[in-house]
Chains A and B, each alone.
Chain A
Amino acid sequence: MQIARAVLSRLVKLVVVVLIVSFLTFMLTKLLPGDLTNTLLGPEASGPAKTALQKELGLDKPILVQYWDYLSGVVTHGDLGTAYGTSNFPVKDLLFNRLPVTLELMLLAQLVSLVISVPLAMFSAYRANSLADRSITAGAFGLISLPSFAMSVFLVYVFSLQLDLFPAVGFKRLTGPEGIGANLRSVALPVAVLVAGVTAVYTRLLRSDLIATLQEDFILMARSKGLPTWHILLRHALRPSSFSLLTVFGINFGALIGGSIIVEYFFSLPGLGLLVVESFYKRDLLVVQGVVLVVAVAFVVVNFIVDALYAVLDPRVRRAGA
């Protein structure tokens, strides 16, 4: 019962946040100086033509009614409006076209980062304060201070210009004629840029939590039972040490969105990030609005799921129901 109530109150909070976020995003285009009709008809259009168009687009209604229309359009048939830039595309279709690229980048980055950082952190924590540990910590610190656009420059310089291993720019579709190999090669450097930053954060975090866990009595107990080190690290220490990692894993989707915008622009990958930047140039704010809405809502939902995952990882949370 308690659990149900806790989940329900979280859900209510989630809905409220989503509503406010969507309202703010909606207001983005409303508060702009000069209205949509100017953009669509040009500054020299006559007054009556503007009024007619305003009526057609529903711009003469009160702002809350407009918001309601927008929201119900989004919810019932995913209608995010029509891009009024050069292409008269529904924003929804643009988003669906671009989404797979960004998703591929983010998922690959998260996956590779976990695969690298978990063993690295375990090694580092087990050998705390050794030379290897201090090098790993220093390396992670350096990587955290490396902006992704600077990292992109360095990686392109080494791996494209000097070693000629990966393409410096461009994207090959997964479903393209050259198949998965070409696709992975074209995203290798962008993903590496994202991985560098994310891995550094994960390693630092997991290392310090593991060091704390390794001081606990149950670890001493396991050790005195003669269990092998890898078994203790993997089966006893990892799970109770992974809470901050889990939180940051969720929050990092936000950072990765930012990182994706940078690398998609740098490497000319046709994802959501490049779409935002291109639409920004064209002043196509309905597209910017659509992307911001989708990204922000996805981000809120991901963090909600991460919150719920605590209960799976930690029996204490499960019992308390909060």
Chain B
Amino acid sequence: MTDVLPVPEVTGAAAAEPHEPRRKSNLGVAGWLAAIWLLVVSAAALLAPVLPLDDPRITDFAVPNNASPGTAGHLLGTDNNGFDIFSRIIWGGRVSLIVAFAVLLFGMTVGGLIGLLAGFFRGKLETALMSIVDILLAFPSLVLLIALVSFLGPELRNVVLGICIVSIPAFARISRATTLTFSQREFVVAARAAGAGNGRILVREILPNVILPLLAFGLLVVAIAIVAEGSLAFLGLTSTETISWGGMINSGRRPLQEDNVAHVAMIPAVVMFLTVLAVNFLGDRFRAAFDVKDTAL
């Protein structure tokens, strides 16, 4: 289930084994399809303002609401507000893109730093930092997210911030476990013997080794973050100003359950599934390449 953040094991076993020759990432047909799908979705989302699309917030009164795909210039039909679904799918991709990059930039940086410091300095600092992480993990992630958003407010900025906060523990654990194994290694001892200080060892010796497994793991967290935003939007807990796939599925719920009209909910559900699948698939491949074990996905 993708509703929960993966909790990597705390043991050193989760770390990359630097002696093993790194397998060349062999994507295969499925991998290429996944990469192409993500590229297309991202490119379309980025270019949404300049693409010749219908305005996603304007009702087309010329056709009935919930018009089926192919109706009068609406490639994927219209939803229950008479909005063009195709255009909303493309605009909705922007939110997923924002969430993905925010988690990688913010969640990974903060979580990675916490884990790095905890794993390197050990002692009281480690106890303090990892206690914070454990407290965050004591809340089921969607519940924590709902609590955060009810506190911060439903605007996109706050939703993204909430998702980043919830993603921190996973990154912190992976980064700590990796740091733990590397800080005992010969090249660190050698650097210390050569007179390098803590800062230099952290930045020049340990960070480069921690960052790759962290990035590989990051793609999996990105998939979960996209689902998390989708869940909130689906539950109607985010601002209705934001066009999001989750929100589109929500607005397709009534047509599906009461009017037997499936496409309004179905199209965003399929797009969301394919996107999450693609991110997960590539993440899995990268992770295999860097041998980060998923002990508790």
Residues of the A chain whose Cβ atoms lie less than 8 Å from the Cβ of B280 = 141, 144-145
Residues of the A chain whose Cβ atoms lie less than 8 Å from the Cβ of B7 = 251
B147–A254 touching, CB < 8 Å: no
Residues of the B chain whose Cβ atoms lie less than 8 Å from the Cβ of A160 = 257
A71 CB–B CB distance under 8 Å: no
CA distance A142 to B147 in the complex (A): 30
Q: Which of A141, A197, A244 contacts B284 (CB 8 A)?
A: A141
Q: Which of A31, A142, A198 contacts B1 (CB 8 A)?
A: A198
B260 CB–A CB distance under 8 Å: yes
Given A147-B231, A161-B262, are A153 and B1 also a contact pair (CB < 8 Å)?
no
Q: Which of A238-271 contact B (CB under 8 A)?
A: 244, 247-248, 251-259, 261-262, 265-266
Give B151's nearest chain A residue, CB to CB: A28
CA distance A97 to B297 in the complex (A): 33
Q: Is the interface of B mostly helix, strand, loop or mixed?
A: helix
Q: Which of A161, A247, A300 contacts B256 (CB 8 A)?
A: A161
CA distance A82 to B258 in the complex (A): 35
Binds B, one of A58-66, A221-229, A274-282: A274-282
Residues of the A chain whose Cβ atoms lie less than 8 Å from the Cβ of B272 = 147, 150
Binds A, one of B18-26, B68-76, B116-124, B232-240: B232-240
B218 CB–A CB distance under 8 Å: no
Interface centre among B146, B258, B276 (most CB of A within 10 A): B146
Interface centre among A150, A200, A261, A265 (most CB of B within 10 A): A150
CA distance A266 to B235 in the complex (A): 8
B296 CB–A CB distance under 8 Å: yes
A3 CB–B CB distance under 8 Å: no
Q: Which of B143, B230, B260 contacts A296 (CB 8 A)?
A: B143
B79–chain A nearest beta-carbon distance, Å: 14
Binds B, one of A19-27, A45-53, A175-183: A19-27
B65 CB–A CB distance under 8 Å: no
B236–A277 touching, CB < 8 Å: yes
**Bitwise interface map of A from 144 to 166 toward B, beta carbon under 8 Å scored 1, else 0:** 11111110011011001100000
CA distance A295 to B3 in the complex (A): 16
A306 CB–B CB distance under 8 Å: no
B141–A145 touching, CB < 8 Å: no
A153–B249 touching, CB < 8 Å: yes
Residues of the B chain whose Cβ atoms lie less than 8 Å from the Cβ of A211 = none
Residues of the B chain whose Cβ atoms lie less than 8 Å from the Cβ of A277 = 235-237
Give A24's nearest chain B residue, CB to CB: B135
Give A113's nearest chain B residue, CB to CB: B1
A147–B273 touching, CB < 8 Å: yes
A157–chain B nearest beta-carbon distance, Å: 5
A204 CB–B CB distance under 8 Å: yes
Give A109's nearest chain B residue, CB to CB: B1
Q: Which of B141, B257, B295 contacts A156 (CB 8 A)?
A: B257
A168 CB–B CB distance under 8 Å: yes
B3–A248 touching, CB < 8 Å: no
Residues of the A chain whose Cβ atoms lie less than 8 Å from the Cβ of B266 = 153-154, 157
A266–B253 touching, CB < 8 Å: yes
Residues of the A chain whose Cβ atoms lie less than 8 Å from the Cβ of B97 = none
A153–B3 touching, CB < 8 Å: no
A312 CB–B CB distance under 8 Å: no
Given A28-B147, A153-B252, A258-B140, are A169 and B231 also a contact pair (CB < 8 Å)?
no
Give B262's nearest chain A residue, CB to CB: A157
A211–chain B nearest beta-carbon distance, Å: 14
B142 CB–A CB distance under 8 Å: yes
B198 CB–A CB distance under 8 Å: no
CA distance A259 to B1 in the complex (A): 8
B151–A32 touching, CB < 8 Å: yes
**Bitwise interface map of A from 1 to 19 toward B, beta carbon under 8 Å scored 1, else 0:** 0000000000000000100
B2–A145 touching, CB < 8 Å: yes
A285 CB–B CB distance under 8 Å: yes
A197–B3 touching, CB < 8 Å: yes
B235–A153 touching, CB < 8 Å: no
A120 CB–B CB distance under 8 Å: no
B102 CB–A CB distance under 8 Å: no
Give A258's nearest chain B residue, CB to CB: B142
Residues of the B chain whose Cβ atoms lie less than 8 Å from the Cβ of A192 = none
A292 CB–B CB distance under 8 Å: yes
Residues of the B chain whose Cβ atoms lie less than 8 Å from the Cβ of A299 = 138-140
CA distance A84 to B138 in the complex (A): 28
B151–A258 touching, CB < 8 Å: no
For this complex, 7 residue pairs linking A to B, each with C-beta atoms less than 8 Å apart, are A145-B2, A145-B277, A147-B227, A157-B256, A205-B296, A258-B142, A292-B139
Show the binding face of B for A, using Cβ within 8 Å.
1-4, 7, 134-135, 138-143, 146-147, 150-151, 223, 227, 230-231, 234-237, 246, 249-250, 252-253, 256-258, 260, 262, 265-266, 269-270, 272-273, 276-277, 280-281, 284, 295-297
